[in-house]
Amino acid sequence: MRVFISADIEGIATTALWDQASKTGWGYDAACRQMTAEVTAACEGARAAGADRIRVKDAHGSGTNLIPELLPRYVELTRASCGSPWSMVYGIDEGFDAAMFVGYHCAAGRNGNPLSHTETKATTAVRINGKKCSEFQLYSWAAATAGVPSVLLAGDQMLCDDSASLHPSLITVPVKRGFGGLTTCLHPEEACCRIRAGAEKALRQDFRGKLPRLPDHFVFEVSYKEQTAAVRASSFPGFVLTDDNTVRMETDRYWDVLTAVVWVL
């Protein structure tokens, strides 16, 4: 069994301030250790359920946050970025049996995490077909286009609640909840224990072939904090300016959405 894991940092148990997610910020090193511990927990759960190959994509920022020497020896790690629309799930393909997402956070404009955003802090909302869209939605749907079911999501409570219906076999593991500028989190070790158990449970269920049905048509909207960003994004092929701060495109191809994300977010 081959498992793909995508890892972010704003949704791990301990992050509450932007400094903790920035290489130059206070608390970043500790956040990287916890991110690595939570990914390791997912790997251990997957291994216990029978996974014999695990690839991890370091998907936050520069893609160089996980501490390689602290990961299990059986893990293959993909770091940094090449600018591909696959982005946070770069390297996934039809050869993988399942995808897992660790350290993910709720969408831009949602109140469940003080670090909520979708790809960039420059927006107030990113929507697909009228609903606020998270990075988890963007890239778990990307995994689905490769035929890979998403079976585990670990992150903040609001993201878990918002995402529970996106995939038929999704197990969610909330490790913190937020309100305004604060978070309340599990003890870091307890978060890891729950992620490990969730990963094993996710892979022991009958998930094979259980993919979400993606919409037949996509209306992709981005609302920016600054009107200048909206004007600039409206020049990207397929986009129109719908108000002072918002652009929109429509397409029947999800790959068009993922490609646009590279350029407008």
- pLDDT, residue 24, reads 96
Q: CB neighbours of 50 closer than 8 A, spacing ≥ 6?
A: 1, 203
Cα dihedral 189, 191, 195, 196 in deg (nearest 10): 20
pLDDT for 218:
98
Query: For position 208, what pLDDT does the model report?
Result: 94
The predicted structure's pLDDT at residue 128: 98
What pLDDT sits at residue 103?
Answer: 98
Q: Which residues of the chain have pLDDT under 50?
A: none
What pLDDT, on the 0 to 100 scale, is given for residue 232? 97
* pLDDT at residue 63, rounded to an integer: 98
Question: What local confidence, expressed as pLDDT, does residue 246 receive?
Answer: 98
Q: Which two tokens stand for residue 108?
A: 């831009």
Give the pLDDT score at 52: 96
pLDDT at 247: 98
CA distance 187 to 231: 44
Q: 3-state DSSP call for residue 113? A: coil
Burial 10-37 (b: 16+ CB within 10 A, else e): bbbbbbbeeebbeeeeebbeebbbbbbb
